[in-house]
Amino acid sequence: MKVLMSAFACSPIRGSEPGVGWNWAREMAKLNEVWVLTRGSNKSEIEENLNGENIKFIYTSIPGMAWIEKHTHRKIIHLYYSLWQRYILRKVKKLHKKERFDVIHHVTYNEFRNPGYLWKLGAPFILGPIGGSQEIESELMDYCEGLRNEKMEKIRRFLNHRSKNSKYLSQSLENAAKIIVANTDTAKFLGLPNNHYELLLETGVKKENCNYIVRNENNKIRILWVGNLIYRKGFRLLIDAFKRVKNKEKYEIIVIGEGELKSTYIDLVQVAGISKYFNFKGNLSYNDTLIQYQDADIFLFTSLRDTSGNVVLEAMSNCLPIIALNHHGAADMLNDKCAVKIDINSKEQVVNDLAHSIELLGDNYETRIEMGMNSFKRIQEEYLWENKGMRMQQIYKDSMGKLLNEE
């Protein structure tokens, strides 16, 4: 098949959304002739790191506005992205008339609020995996670290609901041959009928990055936390929970990441008298982070709002048992065989349950090993990129068949 893919964020050397864009293009190019629409500022990173991938890139910037593509302010880059979506539609109409793409697939950005206009080209249009509907529960709003962030979360909630009811989004959803959602929350939020969407995580794991590890039982239990030290990653929730953990001497908490709240969190653990149990390592290279995954005993994921959580997949691919909040992407990614999932009924309940979960896994070596093995098994069954590529290929075929039947 000849596939036109829209991936505004796309890079072979970055994580997060640029990595998502790149990996979908790379995987689908194994089975199809793939053309990728992406912003011009991605060109150097892509061209310098191509490794024989058979992908045709269409580097596109809005004339006179290319400088914005490297802007770091979220509002500015998202405004540019909206304009870029309109610009590329005009640009690719002639290309589609010449090449006659079999499938058009919007990949990144994966937020549901801005799905673009490529459905207007007339070929089967695949949207997603999309996410972005997640909201911090009212029970956990205290962890927003201040009124400013609480206000921003309320504004985000308002924008989500306004976008949900927009004609722009409705047209994209109605004209999509298949809508793919990254988590169940997004499908429920958008009110999608069961037969019109597919649940498929937006990211995945490369097989070569999976490491089967059976850990020895040690006196010191190493708990690993990885992420940006910003409010929505919920690190203070870990601090509050660890205060209530019994027999603290048996634990060491390894923290990988930087962020605007790092100094605040360091002060909090010092004031609480628990700083000797926390090891803040800052940002590490991929290889150094991998060592931490392999040396850890438990992985803790406290994110208050996340479409998925790539660090969870990394932990699972290194045979780690997981402790996570039972919401958003984590609720779909994890099952009870590989994780302790904490329901959210009240702040007090969440803090207590998190502390008890740490003790449960800390006191049970066999349970940790069994859960870690089940994490690895779940990665092999659900989240390897090659398996995800096969699922997406079937979606492409089904969408083409649907169009033929309608004609």
Residues 38-66: tens digit of each pLDDT = 999 999 999 998 887 889 999 999 998 88
Averaged pLDDT for residues 256-262: 95
Same domain as 337, residue 215 = yes
Q: From the CB of residue 18, how many other CB atoms can be counted at a distance below 10 Å?
A: 21
State pTM to two decimals: 0.90
320: left (phi over 0), alpha (psi -120 to 50) or beta: beta
Can you give the CATH number for the domain in which 54 is found?
3.40.50.2000
Quote the CA–CA distance of 167 and 176 in Å, as a whole number: 14
Contacts of 112 (CB under 8 A, 6+ apart): 130, 131, 132, 133, 163, 164, 169, 186, 189, 190
Same domain as 315, residue 362 = yes
Nearest Cα to 3, choosing from 126, 105, 112, 116? 105
Same domain as 365, residue 223 = yes
Would you say 29 and 385 are in contact if contact means Cβ atoms under 8 Å apart?
Answer: no
In DSSP terms, which residues pair with 299 in a beta bridge?
224, 322
Quote the CA–CA distance of 3 and 104 in Å, as a whole number: 6
Classify residue 378 as exposed, middle or buried by CB count within 10 Å of its CB (0-12, 13-18, 19+). Answer: buried
Same domain as 187, residue 270 = no
The enclosing H or E element of 176 equals none
Say what the pLDDT of residue 110 is.
92
Secondary structure of residue 259 in the 3-state scheme = coil
Same domain as 56, residue 192 = yes
- Residue 145 falls inside a structural domain: no
Q: From the CB of residue 119, how many other CB atoms can be counted at a distance below 10 Å?
A: 22
Averaged pLDDT for residues 223-252: 96
Averaged pLDDT for residues 356-383: 96
Tens-place pLDDT, residues 115-140: 999 999 989 999 999 999 999 999 99
Secondary structure of residue 183 in the 3-state scheme = coil
Same domain as 189, residue 260 = no
Contacts of 193 (CB under 8 A, 6+ apart): none
Same domain as 395, residue 301 = no
Same domain as 195, residue 85 = yes
- Residue 224 falls inside a structural domain: yes
Two tokens, residue 184: 């169940």
Classify residue 133 as exposed, middle or buried by CB count within 10 Å of its CB (0-12, 13-18, 19+). Answer: buried
Whether pLDDT at 403 is above 60: no
Same domain as 311, residue 253 = yes
Say what the pLDDT of residue 309 is.
87
Say what the pLDDT of residue 51 is.
83
Mean pLDDT of the chain: 93
Classify residue 38 as exposed, middle or buried by CB count within 10 Å of its CB (0-12, 13-18, 19+). Answer: buried
Averaged pLDDT for residues 362-382: 96
Domain range for 113: 2-131+166-204+384-406
Same domain as 351, residue 270 = yes
